[in-house]
Chains A and B, each alone.
Chain A
Amino acid sequence: MMQANTLTIEDTTETQNGTVLSVQDLRVWFELRRWGFGHAGSVRAVDGVSFDLGYGEAVAVVGESGCGKSTLMKAILGLHLPTEGDIVFEDTAISTLGSRRMQWYRSHVGYVQQDPFGALPPFFTVGRILEEPLIINGIKSSTERQERIRRALTEVKLTPVEEVTVKFPHMLSGGQQQRVVIARAMILQPKMIVADEPVSMLDASIRVEILKLMRALQLSHNLAVIYITHDLSTVRYFAERIFVMYAGQVVEKALVDDLLANPSHPYTHALLAATSDPDAANAETFREVPPGEPPSLVHPPTGCRFHPRCSHAISGLCDTQEPPEFDIETAHLSKCWLHR
C-alpha cells in the first residue's frame, strides 16, 4: 500500500503541482561574541542547503543532534533569519516579509512540536488551544470556529469532541496530546507542515499510530510535510524523499526506497549500519561505527566535512576541496567525491 502511495505522490508533484517551498543555498550562521561584543567567529548551523519541496510531498530530514536540522526547520518557520540565501514560499521570499505578511505565511505553515506536553499551554482547555489560532487569524463567527474545531478533532480521531474540548492537556495521554498538537497545526488548513521529531517522545506502541495518522492527513489534504527525525527506521513509513544532513549540509538526497536499498554517501552508510532491527543475533556482533564525533560548526573541516571520519577519504582531494552534489541516478544526489 505504501508503495502505491509513494508512486502516485511523486507523479502528481513532479508533473502538475509545482513547488510550494524552495530553499536556495540557505546559510544560517550564529555569531559568537567575545565579552559580549567582540566577534569570535560564527557557528555555521546551516551552511549551504538547497532543495525544492512540491505540493503534497513528504520529505524526511535525517541527521544527528547538532547537524543543523532544527535550525533549518526554524529558518523555514521564519524564526531564524537566513544569513545568506533565501527561503521562497509560493514565489515569496520569506526573509523579506513584514510582520503582517509573516502572519499570513505562518497561517499556511503548521508546526508539530517534539514534546506535546511542553507545546500545549497547561491552563488552556483543548477547545481554547484550538480556537486561539482561529481568533488570531480573524475568524469572527463563533459557530464557524466551533465547527472547524470539531472537524479538526474528528480528523485526528479525538472523539467524542464534546468530551475532549473541555479537557486540559494534563488530562490526556501522550498520544492524545500529540493529536491535539497535530489538530492545532492543521486547523488553519495549511499547505505545509513542519514536524520536528513528532514521535520521539511517545511510546513505541503508539509511534506508528501517530505516524500513520499524519500520513493519512498528508494524503487527504495534499499537504507538504517536512519530517525532521533522527530515527531512520520510521522514515520509510512516512516520507517519499529523504535528506541526510551532516554538519550543516545535506550530504545525500534521494527517494526513501532508493536510499535504503542503495545508499551512496559514506555517512549514510554509517547511519544505516548503526540502526538495529530487533534480532537476537545482534548481540553476537559489534556494529561498525565511524571513529570520532561530528565536527565543530565554528571551524568545520576543510573539504568534505565527513573526511576526518571517513574510511574512503581520498587524501589531497576530500580534505581540501568541498565536493559538489553528484547525480547518481534520477533524483539521487550525493555530496561525495567517490561519485565523481
Chain B
Amino acid sequence: MAQDTLLRINDLKLYFRTASGVVQAVDDVHFELAHDEAVVVIGESGCGKSSLAKAVLRLLPRNVHTYSGQVFLNGTDVMKLSDEAFRRQVRWVNMSLVPQAAMNALNPVMRVGDQVAEPMMVHYDVNRERALEQARRMFEHVGVPLDFMQRYAFELSGGMRQRVAIAMSLVTAPALIILDEPTSALDVLTQANIMNMLKRIKQEMETSFILITHDIATSSELADKVAVMYAGQIVEVGDAARFFTEPLHPYSRKLMASVPRLRGDAEPEFITGQPPSLVGLPPGCRFASRCPARFDRCDENPPVVADDGREVRCWLYDHGDLSTPIQNETEMEQVQTE
C-alpha cells in the first residue's frame, strides 16, 4: 500500500497577510491519495478549498504569510524543490489544475486546439505537430469533435469549453489532476456529461483526481474518498461508501443533512450560524459554536482520531473508536477528567 501512495500531504499550512490580520486559509491539512483514486474535498465557500489546491500546486499570491508543510509526490517532498524545479518537474508533468471557471479563462484569440497542445510544447519540448497529435487524442478522450480544434473559445458552448479546459490539463498525462469546481457553472445535463467523462478518463487513463466542490450530490459521482473541510482544516477523511451512508464529524452530518434530495423523504435541515472568520481564530474546535454535540472539552483543539482508514478531528471520538461517538454525559465527563 505504501508504494501505491501518489500524494501525501503533511501539516500543510497556507496563511495570507491581509489588512485585518493573518488569514489561516489552510491549516494543518494532511491526507493521502493513492494512484488511480479520486478524493473529493467538500466544504462551504470560504473554508479554504481553493487555497488548498493552490497550496498543493504552489500557485501562491504575493501576500503569503506562512507556507509550510510537506507534500510528498511519489515519495519525494516537492516542497523542497526550488520554484523553477517545481515548475519543470511537477506542474503539468505530474500534477495539473483545472482552475475554477477555467472554461471562461481560455485564451480568446487562440484556437482551442493550439491551446490544448501548448503545455506539451512547453513541458516536453516537442514540436507543434507532435503536440497537436497528442491534443487530438485528448479531444477524443473528453468527447469534443476533432473539427472543434480549429475553433475559438467563443464558438463553443459552456460544456464544450469545460471539456477543452479538462483536455488541456490532461494533455501532458499527469498522474494527478486537481479540479476546482469543474461543474458548478453548468447545467444539470452538462454536469452529468462531464462527470461521466471524468469517470471514463479515470478508467482509461488511470488518473487520480482531487475534486474540489461544494456540490455534495454531484461529488458522489466520482468520489472514492471524501475529505470535509471546515474553516481551513480537514475535519473528516474517509472512504466514500462509509462517508455517504454514515458521516462521523458533527459538521459532516449536518452538511449531509442539508443536501436537498430528489428521492426519498428526508426533509433537509440547515446549519444555524456562520463559519468563523479565518482571521484570529480562537483555540478549540472551529465548529464548536454551531455544533449540536458541543461540550466543555471543545474549547481545546480537538485531536485527529484515526481508526480503520477513517480520520476525524473531533473530541467525540477521543476514546479512539470511530464506530460510536461519546453519547451520554458520564462519558463526556470521563473524557474531560482524563
Contact = CB atoms under 8 A, between A and B. Distances in A.
A289 B189 contact: yes
A205 B258 contact: yes
Contacts of B243: 280
Interface string B258-287: 111111100111110010000000000000
A270 B189 CA distance: 8
B45 interface: yes
B270 A278 contact: no
Nearest to A1: B267
Interface in A267-303: 270-280, 282-283, 286-287, 289-290, 293
A65 B244 CA distance: 30
Contacts of A237: 260, 267-268
A208 B221 contact: no
A274 to B, nearest CB: 4
Contacts of B190: 64
A272 B262 CA distance: 8
Given A173-B274, A280-B244, A283-B224, A275 B188 contact: yes
B45 A203 contact: yes
Contacts of A287: 192, 195-196, 221
Interface stretch (B18-26, B66-74, B212-220): B212-220
A32 interface: no
B247 to A, nearest CB: 10
B44 interface: yes
Name the interface size band of chain A. Answer: 35 or more
Interface in A242-282: 260, 270-280, 282
Interface in B179-234: 187-193, 195-196, 199-200, 214-224
Nearest to A173: B274
A289 B240 contact: no
Interface stretch (A15-23, A50-58, A93-101, A227-235): A227-235
A205 B270 contact: yes
Nearest to B274: A173
Contacts of A290: 189
B254 interface: yes
A196 B16 CA distance: 36
Given A64-B188, A233-B217, A287-B221, A275 B270 contact: no
Contacts of A234: 260
A212 interface: yes
A274 B261 contact: no
A219 interface: no
Interface residues of B, number: 51
Given A208-B260, A208-B268, A287-B192, A65 B187 contact: yes
A64 B45 CA distance: 24
A245 B255 CA distance: 31
A280 B245 contact: yes
Contacts of A273: 192
B191 A274 contact: yes
A207 B258 contact: yes
Interface string A1-36: 110000000000000000000000000000000000
Contacts of A230: 187-188
Nearest to B268: A208
Contacts of A212: 270
Interface string A204-246: 1111110010000000000000000011111011000000000
A106 B245 CA distance: 47
B189 A274 contact: yes
Contacts of A207: 258, 260, 270
A290 B218 CA distance: 18
A195 to B, nearest CB: 16
Contact of B188 (A2, A208, A271, A282): A271
Contacts of A173: 274
Contacts of B262: 232-233, 236, 260, 272, 275, 277
Given A276-B217, A280-B245, A204 B259 contact: yes
Interface of A: 1-2, 64-65, 173-175, 203-209, 212, 230-234, 236-237, 260, 270-280, 282-283, 286-287, 289-290, 293
Interface of B: 38, 44-45, 157-159, 187-193, 195-196, 199-200, 214-224, 239-245, 254-256, 258-264, 267-271, 274
Rank and list the top 6 A-B pairs by shortest CB-CB distance, nearest first: A274-B192, A209-B270, A64-B187, A280-B240, A280-B241, A205-B271
20 contacts: A64-B190, A173-B274, A204-B215, A204-B258, A205-B44, A205-B255, A206-B270, A206-B271, A208-B268, A233-B260, A275-B262, A276-B217, A277-B263, A277-B264, A278-B244, A279-B244, A280-B243, A282-B220, A283-B222, A287-B192
Given A231-B188, A278-B216, A286-B200, 20 more contacts: A64-B189, A203-B214, A204-B215, A204-B216, A204-B255, A205-B44, A205-B254, A208-B258, A209-B270, A233-B217, A236-B262, A271-B188, A275-B217, A276-B195, A278-B244, A279-B220, A279-B244, A280-B220, A287-B192, A290-B189
